[in-house]
Structure 1
Amino acid sequence: MTTLLTVVIGLMIAGFAGYLFYLQRKNQREEQHSKKTSVALQLQAYERLALLTDRIALPNLISRLGNPDVNASEMQFLLTKNIKDEFDYNISQQIYVSPEIWNAIRNLKENNLLIIHRVGTSVPSMASAATLNRAILEYLMQDPKANLHEVVSEALSYEAKKLF
């Protein structure tokens, strides 16, 4: 009888150990799946922010929004509105990237708005949009540090590559 009891207890312990092993493996698979999903979301955020950086780069923005039928004041409004709209559309991506990257994106936005405002105040409001656009591009050529979008793009690329 004691031999039977010993075998039953041994089987119960083995079954319990097997069940614990099964749970551990299941949790590991779920964690791996969760990590893969997290990395995919982070990569998607870096892609979207790289696109945002490209879209609000002043030379790209000017070529995309260039409209000969508006004056400098209207063009300044269009440029400013487009930057704010693009930024607002992508604001949720900040939860997937480092605070440093998000600050770089925010600084790019603010820097571009500042340049548009600074140059916009030096151009008569009734001048053509082309005059404002030319003045912004000349400002960027005179101040290489004003092309912040290149630095932000490199930082995004560097951080995205660290995910692998």
Structure 2
Amino acid sequence: MSDQIITFIMYCVPALIVGAVAFYFFRIHIENEDKKRLFLLHKENQKYTMPIRLQAYERMTLFLERMSPQQLFLRIPPHNFSKKEYEALLVNSIDEEFEHNLAQQIYLSEKLWNIIRTAKMATIQIIRKVALTEDVKDSQAMVEAIFKEFVEKATPSANALSHLKEEVRQFLK
């Protein structure tokens, strides 16, 4: 009886070892095939999403450029407006441009989107702060005061634009 058990074990142990090795290699093969399939799917999806993401980056670049004081004052010159009217025109222009590009946030990182939103709010805050200044009497004086704000420091839109460019560089790697 013990000879039969020993013989049975001698046949089963190699079979179990072969089965375990086969299972291990089969599992590794399946995992590699899954990774390959996911890589190919990701690569295929990138064909379609890359142009859309680049377009989103382009649109946000345009928004940031249009929001910069130099461009803003070229588009909305300070004719004979009161400072309150001019403030409202500038803020409305920035808000409309931002709302027009709201959908682009799904293609940008959350960090970049927050930087862009912060730049927008900072620009509006500076416009409002200058409009509340007693020394500023009309729209022309307002333009000059806003330009003085940015003589020694970069505009919020310029800072956001540098972050956007860095994210695009990382995306294209």
* TM-score, with structure 1 as normaliser: 0.75
Unpaired stretches in structure 1, ≥5 consecutive residues: 1-23
What CA distance in whole angstroms lies between the structure 1 residues aligned with 2:74 and 2:107? 30
What CA distance in whole angstroms lies between the structure 2 residues aligned with 1:117 and 1:27? 51
What CA distance in whole angstroms lies between the structure 1 residues aligned with 2:38 and 2:126? 52
Alpha-carbon RMSD across the aligned residues, in angstroms, is: 2.2
Runs of 4+ in structure 1 off by over 2 angstroms are: 24-33
Partner of 2:158: 150
What CA distance in whole angstroms lies between the structure 1 residues aligned with 2:145 and 2:134? 8
Partner of 1:163: 171
Correspondent of 1:92 among 103, 107, 111: 103
- Report deviation, 1:137: 0.9
SS class of match (2:150): helix
Q: Are 1:73 and 2:81 an aligned pair?
A: no
What CA distance in whole angstroms lies between the structure 1 residues aligned with 2:38 and 2:157? 42
Partner of 2:71: 60
51 and 31 in structure 1: CA distance in 2 versus 1, 3 angstrom threshold: same
Identity %: 25
Amino acid corresponding to residue 149 of structure 1 in structure 2: S
The count of corresponding residues between Structure 1 and Structure 2 is 138
Unpaired stretches in structure 2, ≥5 consecutive residues: 1-33
Query: Which structure has the greater CA radius of gyration?
Result: 2
Partner of 2:148: 138
Matching of residues 1-164 of structure 1 within 5 Å: 31-123=42-134, 127-141=137-151, 144=153, 147-164=155-172
Amino acid corresponding to residue 144 of structure 1 in structure 2: K
- Report deviation, 1:156: 0.8
What CA distance in whole angstroms lies between the structure 1 residues aligned with 2:70 and 2:78? 14
Partner of 2:14: none
- Report deviation, 1:32: 2.9
